[in-house]
Structure 1
Amino acid sequence: MMLRAALLSVLFCSVNNYVIQDFLEKTEESSGNSIDDDDFSVSTLLEKANQNAGKVPGDPLVLYGDIAVPSGLQNADPCTQRGCLWPKASDGNVYVPYRIGSEFSRRERNTIVQGLRSFALSTCIRFTPLNRQQDFVDIRSLSGCFSFVGRRGRNQTVSLSRQGCVFHQIIQHELLHALGFDHEQTRSDRDQHVRILLQNVIRGMEFNFRIIQTNNLNTPYDYNSVMHYSRFAFTRNNQPTIIPIPDTNVAIGRATEMSPTDILRVNRLYRCRRRGMEG
């Protein structure tokens, strides 16, 4: 009996040690440096959903991952200096009319509305249901997740495909494009903060990593921005395409919602006043 108990004790300890070791290994692997950790990053969700973006007749031209551009243009440069901001009302708030397509389910519609309303919690942006306004955001389920940058006029499309785009972080990401923001890893000073490994990028997708002369609004580079792509964005060989510097182990592109710096930029770009952010 004692021998049996001893054997059972040894077996239990062995199994327990195996479980603990397995847990520690998985914890170590999930430090943010594994491609599996990016399954639900903004860039991975966009890449999966946007395989056919812009290829369906009637869709706008889609470049740089998820930015819609008018036909005939070959880039989507920042437009905020050319007057593409949404206008501010006399009460200090910025009212952006929207319409949600009837193709969305009730659950999907609720998720989208929650994403729209999230801006009012920390900025002076107020997404409001369309009421005969001329310029508005037209939220549709087209061939992927994409948006124009800034106010384009008339009914401008923000596509949130039902197949892979109706997530809180994606909704905020595309709406930030509509408000005038580009991707974090394309900002003018990005080479001081990340290294782009083009040799690991899918052939023909290198343009997703171009630098543009952004207005950084005197804010620091933000690895936690909901506008930042992940370490393995557009990888062709499961090797990193974006490496943070000088600390290569910093997690990037893992945001599930707007970061404090994202919020700060919205408030600075639209000159939100504290009074305008109340209510």
Structure 2
Amino acid sequence: MSTFFCATEFDWCARGESEVEKEILWWVTFPCTSSCIFTIRAPRGMSIRDGDIAVSHVRSAITCPGNTCLWPKSVDGFVYVPYILSPLYGMKITIETGMQDISAGTCVKFVPRTHEGNFLDIQPRYGCWSFLGQTGGSQTLSLQTPGCMWSGIAAHEFMHALGFVHEQSRSDRDNYVTIIWKNIMPEHVHNFRKQVTNNLNSPYDYNSVMHYGRYAFSEDGGPTIIPKPDPYIPIGQRDGPSAMDLHKINILYNCGW
């Protein structure tokens, strides 16, 4: 079985992904004291890109035409994201904390679904993944137990559902990080491609919950992402959304906060 490599400073594991209907090793980002190996099967008709984004085609997180991938704002100024939580979850507090960490600092509020046609269907599928933005109808968001049961991982997937790609996928990322291509597993090189993004006039956030870790998809244990100019800046935290993460949500959804 393949081995994984952990960052010596923060002890986070690397991550992996694959295409439609293929069983793969899912290397979830969470403390390495837990088991890091998962098997994931992408639902029919979709693929898993960038490690944990379920898509039928690649699109930029924050340049969707006419904001069609954003959740609508209510007349009261809030953005309500209805959800249903699978009864298969025993402890729900971790997932709810991930929601609350976003809601506490933004106009986005996660609410239990009543009759809404568009909603998140949170399920303990295989791995941790989400679709990008609102896709319409029942929208699966997977948080497998026990490996995905960290509030920061939940918040990470909820930010994908709100329309955000990974921070190091930003169009201007080369100004802030160096990608060490030779250290990346060849089958996962595509996870490090830049996307055409609207960066919301916000600074690059090394502390974003959406940032890959230093050793993500490492083939031999060497770093795959090195911050610059300071190579020792911590990246890849999964404690929860950063202040800049919340700020960008407020900008994207015109919260006025």
Moved over 6 A (4+): none
- Over the matched positions of the two proteins, sequence identity in percent amounts to 41
Offset, 1:255:
4.3
Match of 1:101 among 82, 86, 94: 86
TM-score, with structure 1 as normaliser = 0.79
**In the aligned structure 1, how far is the partner of 2:237 from the partner of 2:208?**
8
Instruction: Name stretches of at least 5 consecutive residues in structure 1 with no aligned partner.
Output: 1-33, 275-279
What is the match of residue 68 of structure 1?
54
Offset, 1:134:
0.2
**Do the aligned partners of 1:42 and 1:253 also contact (CA within 8 Å) in 2?**
no
Task: Please say if 1:248 is aligned against 2:231.
Answer: yes
Larger radius of gyration: 1
**Do the aligned partners of 1:95 and 1:128 also contact (CA within 8 Å) in 2?**
yes
What is the match of residue 164 of structure 1?
147
| TM alignment of 1:175-214, pairs within 5 A | 175-214=158-197
**Do the aligned partners of 2:99 and 2:155 also contact (CA within 8 Å) in 1?**
yes
What is the match of residue 7 of structure 2?
35
**In the aligned structure 2, how far is the partner of 1:180 from the partner of 1:42?**
23
Offset, 1:198:
1.0
Higher strand share: 2
Relative distance call for 1:138 and 1:59 in structure 2 (3 A) is: farther
Task: Please say if 1:85 is aligned against 2:70.
Answer: yes
Relative distance call for 1:112 and 1:42 in structure 2 (3 A) is: farther
**In the aligned structure 1, how far is the partner of 2:138 from the partner of 2:104?**
25
Higher helix share: 1
What is the match of residue 121 of structure 1?
104
What is the match of residue 253 of structure 2?
270
**Do the aligned partners of 1:41 and 1:253 also contact (CA within 8 Å) in 2?**
no
Q: Which amino acid aligns with 1:150?
A: G
CA RMSD of aligned residues (A): 2.1
| TM alignment of 1:220-231, pairs within 5 A | 220-231=203-214
What is the match of residue 52 of structure 1?
39
TM-score, with structure 2 as normaliser = 0.85
Offset, 1:64:
1.1
What is the match of residue 118 of structure 2?
135
Match of 2:94 among 111, 117, 136: 111
**Do the aligned partners of 2:167 and 2:205 also contact (CA within 8 Å) in 1?**
yes
Q: Which amino acid aligns with 1:62?
A: I
**Do the aligned partners of 1:111 and 1:168 also contact (CA within 8 Å) in 2?**
yes
**In the aligned structure 2, how far is the partner of 1:56 from the partner of 1:149?**
15
Q: Which amino acid aligns with 2:152?
A: Q
Relative distance call for 1:56 and 1:49 in structure 2 (3 A) is: farther
Offset, 1:101:
0.7
**In the aligned structure 1, how far is the partner of 2:123 from the partner of 2:114?**
18
**Do the aligned partners of 2:129 and 2:143 also contact (CA within 8 Å) in 1?**
yes
